[in-house]
Amino acid sequence: MDGEEDIILQTKDLTKRFGGLIAVSEVDFELQRGKVKAIVGDNGAGKSTFIKMLSGALQPTGGEILFKGESVNFDSPRDAKSLGIETVYQDLALIERMSVADNIFLGRESVFSIAGIKFVRKAKMQKDAEAHLKDIGINVESAGEEIMNLSGGQRQSAAVARAVFTDPEVIIMDEPTAALGVKEARKVLDLIGSLSRSGISIILISHTLPYVFEVADRIVTFRSGKKVYETSTDETDESTVVEHMLGAGKTPSSLGLNQEE
C-alpha cells in the first residue's frame, strides 16, 4: 500500500524566501493517503510557511507542489480548497463578528430566493452547524454565538469544525490543540484519528510531542527552514526528535538525514 499511487500531496524542492530570509529551503515531502503526518520544529523553523504554500495562502519562490501526481499552482486558498485541501491556520482566521454557524458556512451559505431576492437560511444553518459540531464531538453551546464571545478552545473547535465540514480529502492543521485544555485537546486528537480512519489525509503541526506520537504515522522535523529528519513514529522517540529539532547532538549520521524508505 505504500506505492507512489497512494501519495496524495507531495512537494519537491519547495522553497520560500522573504527577502533575504529563506523560511523554507528545498523541502521534499510526501503525504500518503489516509495517513497522519506530523511536522515538528522549533519556533521559526518554517512549518507554518511550508503549509501555507500547500494551502495556497503563500506562493512558493521555488520548487513544486504535486496533488495526486499532477503539478499544481495555487494562486489563492480557493485553488487548494477546490481540490479538497482544507487548512486550520495557527491564527484560525475566523471572523470575530460572525457566529460560529456563519463561519462554518462562509462562502457556501444556504440560500433561497423569493421574487429574485436572496435570503440566507439562518435558522437552518445554525441547526446544521450545531448537528455537525455534535457529530464530531465538539462542544460549543450555540452555533449562533459570535466568535468574539468564545474561549480559545471553542474558537479552535469552530475552526476545526469549519475545515471538516467541507468533506475534504486533505486537512492541514497548524497547532490545532494549542489553545485547548486537556479534555478539548483529547477531542481534537480523537477527531484526527477518526478522520484518518475514514480516509482523509492529515498534516498536523504541533509542539506537543506526546500528541504527535499518539496520532501521527510519520514525523517530519524542520530546522531553520530545512527538513532535517523523517521517520515513522514507531521508529523514534521524543528525545531523538527534540535533538533533531534543536540540532543538538548532531552527528555525521544525523546531519541532513532523511530516513524515508
Residues that bind ligand ATP (CB under 6 A): 18, 21, 23, 41, 43-49, 90
Choose between 61 and 90: whose C-beta lies nearer to Mg ion. Answer: 90
Query: What is the 3-class SS of 119-147, one letter each residue?
Result: EECHHHHHHHHHHHHHHCCCCCCCCCCEH
CB of 92 to ligand ATP, least distance (A): 13
Residue 21 interacts with which of Mg ion, ligand ATP, none, CB < 5 to 8 Å by class:
ligand ATP
Give the three cell numbers for residue 153.
478552545
Q: How far apart are CA 200 and CA 32, in angstroms?
A: 10
Choose between 30 and 174: whose C-beta lies nearer to Mg ion. Answer: 174
CB of 24 to ligand ATP, least distance (A): 7
**Which among 220, 209, 194 is positioned nearest to 54, based on CA atoms?**
220
Among the listed ranges 31-39, 44-52, 216-224, 243-251, the one in contact with Mg ion (CB under 5 A) is 44-52
Q: In what order do the strands lie in the sheet with 226-232?
A: 85-88, 170-174, 201-205, 36-41, 218-223, 226-232
Sign of CA dihedral 116, 117, 120, 122: negative
Q: How many residues bind Mg ion (CB under 5 A)?
A: 2
CA 220 to chain centre: 14
What backbone torsions phi and psi does residue 26 show, to the nearest 5 degrees? Answer: 50, 55
Choose between 125 and 160: whose C-beta lies nearer to ligand ATP. Answer: 160
Locus of grid cell 531523538: 240
Residue 93 interacts with which of Mg ion, ligand ATP, none, CB < 5 to 8 Å by class:
none
CB of 47 to Mg ion, least distance (A): 5
Choose between 46 and 168: whose C-beta lies nearer to ligand ATP. Answer: 46
Among the listed ranges 63-71, 89-97, 179-187, 196-204, the one in contact with Mg ion (CB under 5 A) is 89-97
CB of 186 to Mg ion, least distance (A): 22
Q: Give the side-chain half-sphere CA count within 13 A for 111.
A: 10
Residue 56 interacts with which of ligand ATP, Mg ion, none, CB < 5 to 8 Å by class:
none
Residue 15 interacts with which of ligand ATP, Mg ion, none, CB < 5 to 8 Å by class:
none
Would you count residue 48 as binding Mg ion (CB under 5 A)? yes
Q: How far apart are CA 50 and CA 172, in angstroms?
A: 11
* Binding-site ranges for Mg ion (CB under 5 A): 48, 90
